[in-house]
Structure formats: structure tokens, C-alpha cells
Structure 1
Amino acid sequence: MSTTITATARTTATVTEATTAKGKGLPPEGAPARSRAREIEGYRGLAALSTVVFHVWQQYFRYDADGSHPPVDNHFLGSLISLEVIDLFFVLSAYLLALSYARAAIDGGTTRPARSFLYRRVVRIVPLYFLAVMVVWSIRNPTLPGNWTDLFEHLTFTHVWDREQIFYTIGPTWSLSLEIMFYLALVVLGPLAVRACRRLERRAARVAVCAAGCLLLYAGPLAWIAVAHYGFEVPHTDWPVYFGPQARFGGFAVGMGLAVLVTALKDRARLGTGAAWTLRLAAVAGTYGLSLLTTDPENAATTFFHPAASLLWGLMLFSTVHVRRQERRRGLLTSRWLTGVGLVSYSLFIWHEPIMLELDKAGLLPQSQAGYPLATLIVLLVAVPVAVLSYWVVEYPTGMLGKLKDYRGRPRDFYAEAKPAR
């Protein structure tokens, strides 16, 4: 799996920003209700831990003349562990970032200028990513010139197009290439949608236009996958074909559609506790069922796993963000330890694979497949503290650079002269 844990907007930051908009009625991108912020952070935490467990699982696969052999020969357990959650991050990222555009298009209002949006995304994603790529690449290329093609592609987020090196240096970061491409697409498509909807008088028509656009963005990758697999018989190992934006933007389309749906409904048809849990469990069960069916890399369940899983993750998120307001919400998703993991999830995503490979190289991980559970525990015990350190030393300070510009993207004057007293 590859998570763009990514790479998604930090919920707690957007909630804080929503309270400091100086009364201008300008909603920041991706600001969910304060009561939902901790649950979303909890989802990030669960997905981050799932990512680590999955990549250690991949590391312990063994291959011989008879095929591949998982670390635990149990199909039901293997389907649970290998339940990729990359699509959850795509859906969540798109939902949070497209929410302000959906509100502006359907109900009017102002969105953040493209330069401001992209600036904040860059300071959120790039510093830690560049640092990690340079460190890991240097360790793996101790003598110059080294693999300069790999370094260039990673620093330009173009490695997703390279069939041979897509998983080099930091394997899971192929998904960051898609995140960057989505940001660029959103600052083009979002304002276009807002401009088109302003010409429509009826709210229902504006909702229909936004929904139709999301449907087209979802249908495009679906058609691409079908034509590539059934029309041209492209094998699933041709990574750029099935991992590029033309195949994987369906997850972002679902997140954008969720933003449109939540905006369109507003406070109508909010789910009660029972209905919310029913939808949530149905989404998880459906995704797990898909994973169970992916026994053959060329069957339909495997071929269309990610578009289908995106819809199910979207349903799960809907059952979380569109529920009746309650005074207090307690549970696993809002537990302090899990939301703490969610807070450092991007750092955990970036560092866990290099840490795992270095531990294995140093002989600090069990060598037999039976040692998989212990290996997972060891990687977590090392990677989580490193992620915490990385967050406070790199992520948090560089993230503060976003405050150098205001909502309109104009530089803030922190040393303005005091106004003379009247």
C-alpha cells in the first residue's frame, strides 16, 4: 500500500484557522466541524498503523518456483492485513480540500486563491519529503554519481511514471506524486466549477453540475482501467498504467463528490448513531470482502479494487461527517493515543519503510516468516518515536511558514507600526 497519509490537510490546523478568519466569512479549505476533527485524525492514525503493518507484511513475503508465500498462511487474516487504505487517504484528502470549493459553488462565497492554496500545500508536504528523500538516497548511494535519475524523479514527483523506479528510495511516496497532481487539478477545476455555478439561479442545478463533474472524474479512471486491462491486456505489473493519475484519480473524485454531497445536504438527513454505525460497518465489511476476492491479480475484484474501495471509504467518511451533533463523542477514533498517531501520520508514512529496511539490513529483524509479528512490533517501536521527533523538529516548524501569508496569499506584516492613538 502506499499511503498518502499523507499528504492530507491537517484537520486540527484548519479548524484553528476557521476560528481566526477575522469575521470575513472565508472558510478555509477542508475545515470540518470541530466535533469531527478528532475522528478524522483518528482515521489517519488507524490508516497509518495499517500502512506499517502492511509494508512489513510485504517485506516478509517469500518467492520461489512455486509462487509467492505470505508470512501467515491464512487467507482471511492475510486479506485483513493487506487491506490497502491508500484510497481512504485520497478520499479524505479530496474531501477536506474540495469542501470550500463545493460551498462556494453551491452556496456562494469566496475560495482561497490558487497561489495561497498551493503555497500552503507546499510548506505542508515538501520540506519533510525533500529531507527524507535526500537522506535515504544518500544512504543508498554512498558513492557518486549514484542513481541521479531516481533522485531527480523523486524531487520532481515524477517517479510515478517510471516503471522501474516508481518504488525506489521511499517506495510509498509514489502516492505523493498523485497528491501534487491533484492539488494542481483542484486549483484549476475548483474555480471553474465556482464560475460555472454562479450563472445558475437554482441551487439544485448548481448541485447537479458539481455532482456531474465529480461523476465524470470518477468514470474516466474507471474506463481507463477497463480499456487497459480488457482491451489491451496490460498486466497489473505495468505500474504507471495502473498507479498513474489516469487510473487512480477515482479516489479523489469520490472525496470531491463527498464534499458536494455534504454541502448539498447541509443539516438535512443527518444520520443517527444507529444508522451511522450501520453504514460504517457496511463500508468496512464491503472493503474487506473486496480484499478477500483479490486472490487472482488479474480478476475483476483486483482490477477494479481501488475504484470500488474508494466508494466504500467515501461511504464510511459520510457516516462520520454527516451525523447528528452530539455534546461529546468518545470512542476509539477520538482516543488520545490514536489521534496522536494521526497527528504524526505523515512523518510515520515517510519514515517507516526506510526504517524497516535499515533494521532488516542490520539484522535486527527476525529472518524467518514466523517472526513477522515480532518484526511488526519492532518496526512500530522504532518508527513511531522517530515520527514524533520528525513532526516536532521538521513538520511543525516548517508548517508554521504557512502563517507568513494571509488567506488571500498576501504576505503578513508582523512588524507593522502601531496606529497612533486618537
Structure 2
Amino acid sequence: MKQRYQLDVYRALAAMAVAVFHAYQSNRTAHWPLEGTVWHEILLATDLFVAMFFVLSGFLLGIPVARAALGLSEPRPARVFLVKRVARLVPLYFLVVLVVWTMTNPEFPGQWRDLVLHLTFTHVYSDDYIFWTNGPAWSLADEMHFYLLLAVLGPLAYRLCARFGGTRAKLAVLLTGAGTLAALSLGYKILAKYVWQVPHDRWSVWFGPLAKLDLFAIGLLMAVASAAGFRLAARWQRAGFALTGAGLVYLAHTADLSEAFVHTVVGLGCALVITSTTLTTVAPPRLLSWRPLVTIGVASYSVYLWHEPVLRVLGASGLLPDRGTPTAFVVTAVCLLVVVIPLAMVSYQAIEKVGMKLAATIDGTGRARNYYPELDRLSNWEPAPR
């Protein structure tokens, strides 16, 4: 039986954390509003939770692949996987990009290169345009690269694992594959940092798909563990995973760690915390089923995409206080969340959910779904000859 993990609250917390960070960042003048306090350190750390989105994507999208490769379910064609991803995510992404680009480029032709790069998910290869139009959109471009990669590697994993009869051998193939992706990403960052000595402001190097592939790979490793039946049974095991994960997130922010590897450590920490509440033999904590956060989590993609444009509109409309004070930051953050969360709910219902329903018209084999099999059977029925 397919298990549904309660992860919406994690998505909600990550999306709101990033939104609050950008509210804090927008209030920076010569100094940060809360600089010199523990709150400043906490708020700087909230931006790191972008890593959680990549880990969650690898985990959730990797589970069906891992299960099929292990012979626990039927393989899903790559085109079906891509159609479902595109139908859910791309319409909203295009809408946000087009709306924001049009508002910021009122005269033709405007920054047309920026628009073309964003619409083709290639702005992550440009140091100039990677954060233009909608800053958080860089992570969606990376995600699209990972979806294409998984669409290629999934069928390959099915074929390789089919050559082995034992579960251990199949697990070895899957773990080696995911581990190789993580190693490639880490190796790339080691070369960029210590051999090529790439400056920290070469954004395309440090925020491009190859730099964040290790986070997606961490999620894939979790998916393999889940498909293999790994579960934490004892309370001390769950507590150990949770505390170790929280410690890694804390270490990533406080230790003298190179920026090239901060997201990697945060992603690993998030993976351990998520594992402690999902890959277990007991019910997850009640917080993970708290309805308000679950509701926000369902619309977290919309929250993530809309929050920066909303912040810019609020600022341009004079609805936010003067920047630079702790009070201004708090008011900015509250106003942003009060506006963007309802907007995200509407966006989810009107755009994301419609895309999901359109994707549902395709069955598991990639063909148009037959909603009337009983009528077809009756129409093909012929009376027995007398």
C-alpha cells in the first residue's frame, strides 16, 4: 500500500521562513535592523531553508522511482512524470514571470533577454539575470533541471535493477546512483572553491543546478531508504536523528563553514529531521497535521513564487513603513504574510489545482484516461448467438 507522508507543514514553514527573510532583507540599510542580537542570527538562517525544498523534491519524486526499481510497483513512463510536473508547476511560474516582467518593463522591448532566459529556465546560467524579475525563481529553474534528470535516470534505473534478482543488489544500484549525483555536486563545488577559486558573487556557479544537485540527491537517498522499508522504531533513534539534524542546521549557520557547503549541511540536517518524523513506525507529531499549516503547505509553491512580487508591490505602493528599524521589519513581515497567504490560496485553487486536474486526464501509461470503461464494455457487448 502506498504511504502518504505528512510533509505539508515542512513546506509551509520553509516557504514562510524564506518570505520572512526577504522581508528582513528588504529592511536592510547601512545595517541590518536587528544586527547584534540573537534574532539577527536566527533570521539570517531562515534563508537557508530553500535547501529543504530541494530535499523534499528528491524524496517525494524519488519514492515512485525507487519502488518501481525494487519491483514493488509498476514503472511510470518518463513522459507521464514530466507531464504531471509541467502541468502543476509551469503555468503558475509563467504567469508570475510574465506579470512581474511586464510591470517592470513597461516599454517595449524591455529586458527581453531576461524574459527569454526565465521562460526557458536558463537564467540560472547568467550571473546578470539569475535573480532578475523574480529572485526566488532560480530554485524553480534548478528543479526543472532535476526533473529532466530524473526522467532520464529513472528508466535507466529500471533497466539496471531488472538485471539483478536480489533486493540488496538493486539497492546497491540505487544507492550508488544517488550517491554519485551527490559526489559530482560536491566535487564540482570543491573544484570551484579551492582549484578554480571562483568568487562568491559568480551566482551562476554557486546557485546553478550542479551546485544544488547534492540537495536533490540527499532526497533521493531518503527515497531509496523509504522504498527499502527503513523505519525508526525506538524513541531514542527518532530523537537522535532529530537532534543531529537540528545540530547540523545550527552548525551550518554558526560555524566557520565555507558558503559553498552551507546548503549541503543544512540539507543533510533537514533530511535527518524529516526522517525522524516520517520514516518511523509511529504516528508523526501532531504539529504535522495541524490544519492551518497544512493548508499553507499545500499552497507553499504559490507562497514561494508570489511573496517577492507582493513585497515589491507593497513597498512601491507606500504601504510599508520606512526601512531600517526592528518595528519596520516586523510590520513588513506581517503585512507580507497577511497578503501573500490568501493570494497563494487563490492561486493554488485557480491555477495549480486546474493543472493537476488536467494532468489527471493522462493515465499511468501516458494515454488519455478512460473515464467510462463500463460504458465501453456495454457498447462492445454482443448477445450470444441462439
Task: Read off the aligned partner of 1:147 and give its amino acid letter.
Answer: Q
Q: Which residue of 2 aligns with 1:77?
A: 39
Report if aligned partners of 1:79, 1:288 keep a CA contact under 8 Å in 2. Answer: no
CA deviation string 1:65-99 (max 9, x = no partner):
xxxx2221135322322221111110111111111
CA deviation string 1:30-62 (max 9, x = no partner):
x6x24x33xx01111111111111111221222
The count of aligned residue pairs is 375
Report if aligned partners of 2:127, 2:203 keep a CA contact under 8 Å in 1. Answer: yes
CA distance in 2, matches of 1:87, 1:136: 25
CA distance in 1, matches of 2:198, 2:109: 34
CA distance in 2, matches of 1:301, 1:285: 17
1:272 deviates by 3.3
Task: Read off the aligned partner of 2:114 and give its amino acid letter.
Answer: D
Report if aligned partners of 1:72, 1:369 keep a CA contact under 8 Å in 2. Answer: no
Q: Which residue of 2 aligns with 1:395?
A: 352
Report if aligned partners of 1:254, 1:310 keep a CA contact under 8 Å in 2. Answer: yes
1:311 deviates by 1.5
Task: Read off the aligned partner of 2:12 and give its amino acid letter.
Answer: G
Partner SS, residue 133 of structure 1: helix
1:207 deviates by 1.1
User: 1:128 aligned to 84, 92, 95, which one?
Assistant: 92
1:281 deviates by 3.1
1:112 deviates by 1.1
1:330 deviates by 5.1
Q: Are positions 1:350 and 2:305 aligned together?
A: yes
Q: Which residue of 2 aligns with 1:184?
A: 148
Q: Are positions 1:359 and 2:326 aligned together?
A: no
Change (3 A) 1:375 1:203: same
User: 1:235 aligned to 191, 195, 199, which one?
Assistant: 199
Report if aligned partners of 1:76, 1:292 keep a CA contact under 8 Å in 2. Answer: no
1:222 deviates by 0.8
Task: Read off the aligned partner of 1:359 and give its amino acid letter.
Answer: L
- Please give the TM-score of this superposition, normalised by the length of structure 2: 0.92
1:214 deviates by 1.2
CA distance in 1, matches of 2:159, 2:28: 51
Task: Read off the aligned partner of 2:23 and give its amino acid letter.
Answer: V
Matches within 5 A, 1:327-342: 329=284, 331-342=286-297
Matches within 5 A, 1:20-419: 33-34=3-4, 36-37=5-6, 40-63=7-30, 69-74=31-36, 76-83=38-45, 84-264=48-228, 266=229, 269-293=231-255, 300-326=257-283, 329=284, 331-370=286-325, 371-414=328-371, 417-418=375-376, 419=378
1:369 deviates by 1.6
Q: Which residue of 2 aligns with 1:4?
A: none
CA deviation string 1:310-341 (max 9, x = no partner):
21121112112211134xx5522211110011
1:368 deviates by 2.8
Q: Which moved more, 1:203-212 or 1:235-244?
A: 203-212
Q: Which moved more, 1:155-164 or 1:367-376?
A: 367-376
- Please give the TM-score of this superposition, normalised by the length of structure 1: 0.85
Report if aligned partners of 2:117, 2:123 keep a CA contact under 8 Å in 1. Answer: yes
CA distance in 2, matches of 1:269, 1:142: 55
RMSD (Å), alpha carbons:
1.8
Percent identity between the two aligned chains = 37
CA distance in 2, matches of 1:250, 1:318: 17
Partner SS, residue 169 of structure 1: coil
1:357 deviates by 0.9
Report if aligned partners of 2:233, 2:282 keep a CA contact under 8 Å in 1. Answer: no
Task: Read off the aligned partner of 1:78 and give its amino acid letter.
Answer: H
